[in-house]
Amino acid sequence: MRMKKFQLLCFVTLAVVFFWIIWFNRSAVSTISRDELLVDSPQQNIFLNHDLPGKKPNKDASSKNKSNSVVAILDLPTNLNSVDLRGWEVFGSEEAMLWAGRKETESEDERPTPALTFKDRVFYLNEMPFRIFSGAMHYFRVVPEYWMDRLKKLKACGLNTVETYVPWNLHEPSPGIFDFKGILNLRKFINMAAELGLYVILRPGPYICSEFEFGGLPGWLLADPHMRVRTNYRNYIKYVNKYWSVLLPMMLDLQFTEGGPIIMFQVENEYSSYGVDHNHVKLLLYMMREYGVRELVVTSDNVFQLLKDHPEFDVSKYALNTINGHKIDENHLEFVQKQNQHFPIMVMELWCGWFDWWRHDHTTGNIKTLKKTLTYLLDHGGSFNLYMFLGGTNFGFTSGAANLTRYEVVTTSYDYGAALSEAGDTTPKYFLVRDELLKFYKKLGIPYLPEVPPNLPKASY
């Protein structure tokens, strides 16, 4: 009899624990609808009152805030392989130059002007020459309590821009369940950067790579046995459309043209290394524009051989080609010039280190190569995004993996041999970058940079 009572007590206890876990998980994840998410009170556009280089504050931007209105899911064309991108040629192309001379009587709504443009291999931010000196810092790899410390160190390093990916699998862990709270509060991160006068490069994928689980794609996509990710497979595009109908409207009032800090968006990621559907990136570009993205859109690729063999993958008419690598030289300049005489040199990923696999030695990257590449870019009018400025941590089970010759898993640490360590401490690489940028700024009459914040004390828990 006592044994039966004991078994019953154990059963009741397990049931209580089981239902508590379900309740806790449901409350921990922001299970909110599109309507509830998008009508949340937006933060004020901090950049409206900032006197920034090249900034012409838009006094009416707050009245055109897009984040407080529900945006309908985009009606996609029947033929996903044939979208109309006319009118969205990137500035700097011959077509864009012709458009820039349009009659004043034409409607401004036909094509809003991005704040960041380019001509003769020079970026212009609101018509003033501009160089992008960016550092990669992924908000989802750093706890929010440390965001401000890391961003202050980024600015003190001499960088003027912060870049981040946006991981779909974290923001939509289950179909229709969206999470933008805590470490996933993207708007808070962007506004924090704006408080420091930093610009923002946003890379919303939908595929991001970044050595992240499934490249940032949700695993639940594979519930469809016929799923073909990173293509125009209709079911994949349907889910991308739903996700972007939440994410992109949240970003519209944070664009530079609306008084926010975002000056650039990237579509997809290194698609040339995948390259199975040459219409896919064009469709994503179309969707971005239809959802209201007005800033300059770029791609990030190592496209030398791909475009030589497969010219159909070239979308440079509608998005600026940027390049990735750790050694940038005259060969890259020549390639960019062949693409378009106006295209500036933009290294979206200047690799200052590398990620680690389990069972392998820690990779730090060659500091001499970094110095040589930085010097070359600074001397030849280049812009760059230091990947990574701060690597951070792959929390939980979010580390990516590869299965080429054998199955390899990325470590929990995403230190990357970055300018800041995983713990946020400055490194010799940090001061190398800072010294090179300070030399550059002194030539412009800027004698000093902000003081470097001290490293935070450490403790064992």
Residues labelled catalytic:
270, 349
User: Comparing C-alpha atoms, which of 15, 264, 313, 2 is closest to residue 125?
Assistant: 264
Question: Are the C-beta atoms of 291 and 248 separated by less than 8 Å?
Answer: yes
β-sheet bridge partners, residue 123: 118, 130
Most distant pair of Cα atoms in the chain: their distance? 93
Residues near 271 by beta carbon (within 8 Å), at least 6 away in sequence: 230, 280, 281, 299, 301, 313
Q: Where are the alpha helices (DSSP H) in 252-403?
A: 280-290, 304-309, 330-339, 367-379
As a whole number of angstroms, the distance between CA 310 and CA 152 comes to: 43
Peptide bond into 77 cis (omega under 30): no
Token reading at 210 = 């970044």
Structure-token match 């990173």, residue found:
230
Burial of 12: CB neighbours in 10 Å, binned 0-12, 13-18, 19+:
exposed
- Other C-beta atoms closer than 10 Å to the C-beta of 444 total 8
User: Comparing C-alpha atoms, which of 262, 261, 292, 296 is closest to residue 49?
Assistant: 261
HSE (side-chain half, CA atoms, 13 Å) at 15:
6
Token reading at 195 = 């408080």
As a whole number of angstroms, the distance between CA 247 and CA 145 comes to: 23
- Other C-beta atoms closer than 10 Å to the C-beta of 312 total 9
Structure-token match 């969707």, residue found:
287
